[in-house]
């Protein structure tokens, strides 16, 4: 174990431990509140919906790209005749 000789370093360590303890206790209290849990759950559901919509939009964009490529091929065949 490290031996702290000066008073200022001991005070620094003690105040750091005290601050970390207080912050930890406050975070535990906040995250145990039902309102906080509801907000977190709501954000999670919104994120899932957003991901689902992004997936649907990407599928539609890919479908439109393939249709556009097919249309260009057909158009090129018509103009080469």
Six token digits for residue 29: 């209290």
User: How much is the pLDDT for 81?
Assistant: 67
Measured on CA atoms in the order 60, 65, 67, 68, is the torsion positive or negative? positive
**Shared-domain flag, residues 51 and 79:** yes
**Shared-domain flag, residues 40 and 26:** no
**Shared-domain flag, residues 41 and 62:** yes
**Shared-domain flag, residues 28 and 38:** no
**Shared-domain flag, residues 28 and 16:** yes
Range of the domain at 26: 1-32
Segment-wise mean pLDDT, segments of 10 residues, the chain, 81 residues:
71 93 94 89 95 96 96 86 67
User: How much is the pLDDT for 19?
Assistant: 97
User: How much is the pLDDT for 78?
Assistant: 84
User: How much is the pLDDT for 80?
Assistant: 77
């Amino acid at each position: 174990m490290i031996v702290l000789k000066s008073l200022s370093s001991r005070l620094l360590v003690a105040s750091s431990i005290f601050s970390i303890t207080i912050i930890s206790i406050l975070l535990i209290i906040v995250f145990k509140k039902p309102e906080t849990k509801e907000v977190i759950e709501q954000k999670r559901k919104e994120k899932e919906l957003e991901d689902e919509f992004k997936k649907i939009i990407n599928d539609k964009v890919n479908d439109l790209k393939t249709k556009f490529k097919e249309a260009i091929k057909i158009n090129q065949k018509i103009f080469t005749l």
